[in-house]
């Protein structure tokens, strides 16, 4: 099916260090004393907690409901009791925390009832919902929900299964392919069906001959339409765009995806998880993790999600001179700030580092603009420009130079003669840009709230004025019906004032109606008394008028 391979730009050849851990078969890790299961297990989405402290749960029980378009479910990794729901540190350079469900296992490892999904009996949408419910996300580290990545299933010609595993030291995919090749390819065939791809290409770096042989043997039983292809060992051949380029010749430009060119790519671990989810109804509750570096028993261990690194490391036995731990590989991994962080769906490796294995980098020297970093960059960026702009906090310029196309592969830093930790600068710049974006969104929301409050107050004022005007019109109409004199124009707008003015007018009329008669012959004393009474009445009327609101 494949007649020739293609090269990608850039790349480096670090020492692979695969032999340290790839020898022994995958071992099953024991059930730990407690599990800390983060509710954030997929990119940009934290699941809504479905359990409470004190609640008993079974293995595979739904404990977090995925929310939003990128949401996916989270499950209990074994049976036990929920003892706490609280923020715990994540494997992140900043040491940031995320809400997690803490489970005390009962040691019985009892599963929920689970059954396979018959793909022929359900619609494509139901199958995708099933994968979402089983919490399947990309296991190569990106954590992108698989049901979203399968997408519309339109126009995809080629499904690429990524078994390159190009990072030094990591061997979990290698062992998975050697030992569970049929299961991985079963998942690949399910993905092919859901995507509607015509062909499946499995790319494996040629430094894994046993994995290539096992996968080729399994593929030969599946007939045409699937090829297992050894690709040259060159870091980062396992990058999605790089592997697609090598296998299909398709060059995916900056800002575009493989799907734009009819190619979709999934990691071998993801294909294996899809197989377990469809063929057994098993949610994703465990994964294979490489423990290697400065340890007594390097190897690959199948461990429950939520196992804390401190407990995990006991399986491999870190040596006394270990001075730090890296989650992931040395090129793209993160130095752990805390050993309480748990294994998540994207955790593929924990490396114990010692000064002998990973000597401290020599002091950083000034950039000499030699261009070595640009020649090594597989994303075709200008790393030294990104470095200058990031260092000068000129984030706008860094974005102009496509900072967000940087895949943080570390090739530039690997070749830099000045030993500049370039990727640290890019991560800093990206973090600052994201933080500013969050601040901008928060201030936009505050401004919108303020403007809405002003608008609401204005609207209420106008509604009140309209009600008063309607009431005044009603009053005027009533007065006109009874034949009483209309109030003065200023009073007409206020129904209360209009009523008072009408009452005063009525009093005046009554007064005129009862005007005394035959008073011409009154004595001077009586006339004076009447004048005094009139004056007092006038005064009282005036006081009433003044009191009116
Ligand atoms: S490799 Fe290092 S010294 Fe050379 S241009 Fe890039 S950043 Fe500068
Ligand atoms: S880390 Fe970024 S800039 Fe450096 S080589 Fe990789 S993609 Fe290029």
Ligand 1 near 530 CB (within 6 A): no
Give me the phi and psi of 479, to 5 degrees please: -65, -40
Starting from the edge strand earliest in sequence, which strands make up the sheet with 199-205, in order? 226-231, 199-205, 158-162, 263-267
Higher pLDDT, 279 or 142: 279
CA–CA separation, 263 and 349 (whole Å): 28
Pocket mutation for ligand 1, best pick of 364, 372, 421 (most atoms within 8 Å of C-beta): 372
- Which of 314, 398, 385, 308 is closest to 352 using CA atoms? 314
Best residue among 368, 385, 425, 426 to mutate for probing ligand 1's pocket (most ligand atoms within 8 Å of CB) is 368
Q: Is 416 annotated as a binding residue?
A: yes
Residue 476 is predicted with a pLDDT of 79
Q: Of the ranges 115-129, 208-222, 252-266, which one carries the lowest mean pLDDT score? A: 252-266
Which atom of ligand 2 is least distant from the CA of 411?
A: 5
pLDDT at res. 58: 98
**Across 25-39, 314-328, 377-391, 461-475, least confident range:** 461-475
pLDDT of residue 282: 97
Distance 371 CA to ligand 1 centre (A): 6
Number of Cβ within a 10 Å radius of residue 330: 22
* CA 340 remoteness from chain centre: 22
Most confident of 65-79, 135-149, 281-295, 501-515: 281-295
Give the per-residue pLDDT at 103: 98
* Residue showing tokens 């699937």: 226
Cα dihedral across residues 368, 356, 11, 7: positive or negative: positive
Which candidate, 248, 167, 151, 233, places its Cα nearest to that of 202?
248
Res. 373: pLDDT tops 60: yes
Separation of CA 235 and ligand 1 centre (Å): 19
Assess whether the C-beta atom of 372 lies below 6 angstroms from ligand 2.
no
> What is the average pLDDT across 442-466?
82
Centre of ligand 1 from the C-alpha of residue 388, in Å: 10
The yes-or-no verdict on residue 3 having pLDDT over 70 is no
Ligand 2 touching residue 316 (CB < 6 A): no
Ligand 1 centre distance from Cα of residue 402 (Å):
18
Q: Is the pLDDT of residue 548 over 60?
A: no
**Closest ligand to the CA of 11:** 2
Q: How far is the CA of 339 from the centre of ligand 2 (A)?
A: 28
User: Residue 345 has what pLDDT?
Assistant: 93
The bound ligand whose nearest atom lies closest to the alpha carbon of 404 is: 2
Is 370 marked within a binding site? Answer: yes
| Tens digits of residue pLDDT in 395-445 | 999 999 999 999 999 999 999 999 999 999 999 999 889 888 888 877 777
For 244-285, write each residue's pLDDT tens digit.
999 999 999 888 888 999 999 999 999 999 999 999 999 999
Mean pLDDT of 109-113: 96
- What pLDDT score does 423 carry? 94
Band (pLDDT 50/70/90 cuts) for residue 71 is: confident
Peptide bond preceding 236: is omega within 30 degrees of 0, i.e. cis?
A: yes
At residue 211, the 3 state secondary structure works out as helix
What is the DSSP-derived secondary structure letter of residue 521? T
H helix intervals, 42-169: 124-133, 146-150
pLDDT score, position 514: 55
What is the per-residue pLDDT for 435? 84
The per-residue b/e assignment along 177-199, b for 16 or more CB within 10 angstroms, e otherwise, is bbbbbbbbbbbbbbbbbbbebeb
Lowest-confidence pick of 26-40, 71-85, 456-470, 524-538: 524-538
Is residue 472 a contact partner of residue 492, using CB atoms and an 8 Å limit? Answer: yes
Q: What is the pTM of this model?
A: 0.79
C-beta 423 within 6 A of ligand 2: yes
For the chain, give the percent of residues with pLDDT over 90: 67
- Answer yes or no: is 367 a known binding residue: yes
Q: Is 376 in the pocket of ligand 1 (CB under 6 A)?
A: no
Measured distance CA(271)–CA(222) in Å, rounded: 16
pLDDT on residue 63:
96
Is pLDDT at 187 greater than 80 in this prediction? yes
Q: Report the separation in Å between the CA atom of 194 and the middle of ligand 1, taken as the mean of its atom positions.
A: 45
pLDDT over 60 at 449, yes or no: yes
Angle of helix 181-195 relative to helix 124-133, nearest 10 degrees? Answer: 130
Q: Which is the closest atom of ligand 1 to the Cα of 369?
A: 5
Q: Is 425 in the pocket of ligand 1 (CB under 6 A)?
A: no
More confident residue, 95 or 356: 356
Element (H, E) at 388: helix 383-391
Ranked by mean pLDDT, the top range of 139-148, 320-329, 467-476 is 320-329
The minimum-distance atom of ligand 2 relative to the CA of 376 is 5
377 lines ligand 2 (CB under 6 A): yes
Confidence of residue 141 (pLDDT cuts 50, 70, 90): confident
Q: Give the three-class secondary structure for 98.
A: strand
Is 235 a residue whose pLDDT tops 60? yes
**pLDDT, tens digit, for every residue of 486-537?**
555 555 556 667 677 777 777 777 766 655 555 566 677 777 777 788 788 7
372 CB less than 6 Å from ligand 1?
yes
Of residues 136 and 523, more confidently modeled:
136
Protein residue with its CA nearest to atom 4 in ligand 2: 412
In which band, very low, low, confident or very high, does the pLDDT at 452 lie, cut at 50, 70 and 90? confident
SS3 28: strand
**Of ligand 2's atoms, which has the minimum distance to the CA of residue 410?**
1
Burial 470-484 (b: 16+ CB within 10 A, else e): eebeebbeebeeeee
| Mean pLDDT within 388-400 | 93
Ligand 2: centre distance to CA 253 (Å):
15
Rounded-to-integer distance, Cα 156 and Cα 145, Å: 18
Q: What residue's CA is closest to ligand 1, atom 3?
A: 367
Q: Which residue minimizes the CA distance to atom 1 of ligand 1? A: 416
Rounded to the nearest integer, the mean pLDDT of the chain is 89
């Amino acid at each position: 099916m494949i007649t020739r391979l293609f090269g990608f730009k850039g790349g480096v050849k670090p020492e692979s260090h695969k032999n340290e851990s790839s020898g022994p078969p995958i071992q099953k890790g024991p059930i730990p004393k407690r599990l800390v299961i983060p509710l954030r297990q997929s990119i940009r989405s934290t699941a809504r907690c479905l359990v409470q402290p004190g609640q008993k749960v079974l293995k595979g029980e739904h404990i977090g409901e995925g929310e939003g378009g990128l949401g996916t479910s989270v499950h209990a990794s074994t049976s036990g009791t929920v003892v706490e729901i609280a923020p715990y540190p994540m494997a992140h350079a900043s040491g940031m925390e995320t809400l997690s469900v803490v489970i005390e296992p009962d040691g019985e490892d009892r599963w929920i009832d689970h059954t396979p999904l018959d793909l022929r009996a359900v619609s494509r949408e139901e199958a995708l919902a099933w994968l979402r419910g089983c919490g399947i996300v990309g296991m190569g580290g990106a954590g992108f929900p698989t049901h979203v990545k399968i997408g519309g299933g339109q126009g995809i010609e080629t499904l690429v299964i990524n078994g390159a595993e190009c990072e030094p030291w990591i061997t979990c995919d290698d062992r998975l392919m050697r030992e569970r090749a049929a299961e991985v390819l079963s998942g690949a065939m399910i993905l092919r069906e859901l995507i509607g791809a015509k062909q499946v290409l499995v790319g494996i770096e040629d430094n894994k001959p046993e994995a290539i042989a096992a996968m080729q043997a399994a593929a030969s039983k599946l007939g045409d339409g699937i090829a297992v292809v050894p690709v040259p060992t060159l870091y980062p051949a396992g990058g999605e765009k790089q592997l697609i380029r090598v296998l299909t010749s398709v060059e995916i430009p900056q800002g575009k995806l493989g799907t734009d060119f009819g190619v979709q790519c999934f990691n071998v671990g993801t294909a294996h998880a899809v197989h377990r989810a469809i063929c057994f109804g098993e949610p994703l509750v465990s994964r294979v993790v490489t423990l290697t570096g400065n340890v007594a028993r390097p190897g690959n261990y199948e461990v429950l999600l939520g196992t804390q690194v401190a407990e995990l490391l006991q399986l491999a036995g870190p040596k006394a001179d270990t001075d730090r731990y890296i989650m992931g590989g040395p090129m793209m991994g993160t130095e752990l700030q805390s050993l309480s962080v748990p294994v998540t769906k994207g955790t593929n490796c924990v490396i114990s580092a010692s000064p002998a294995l990973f000597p401290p980098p020599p002091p950083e020297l000034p950039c000499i603009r030699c261009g070595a970093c640009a020649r090594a960059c597989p994303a075709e960026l200008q790393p030294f420009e990104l470095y200058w702009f990031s260092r000068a906090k000129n984030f706008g310029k860094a974005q102009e130079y496509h900072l967000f196309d940087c895949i943080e592969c570390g090739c530039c830093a690997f070749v830099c003669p000045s030993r500049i930790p370039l990727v640290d600068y890019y991560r800093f710049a990206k973090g600052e840009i994201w933080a500013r974006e969050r601040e901008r969104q928060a201030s936009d929301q505050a401004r919108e709230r303020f403007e809405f409050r002003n608008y609401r107050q204005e609207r209420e004022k106008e509604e009140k004025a309209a009600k008063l005007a309607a009431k005044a019109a009603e009053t005027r109409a009533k007065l006109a019906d009874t034949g009483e004199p209309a109030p003065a124009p200023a009073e007409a707008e206020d129904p209360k004032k209009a009523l008072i003015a009408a009452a005063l007018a009525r009093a005046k009329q009554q007064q005129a109606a009862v005007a005394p008669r035959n008073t011409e012959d009154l004595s001077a004393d009586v006339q004076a008394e009447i004048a005094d009474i009139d004056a007092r009445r006038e005064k009282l009327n005036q006081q009433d008028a003044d009191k009116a609101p």
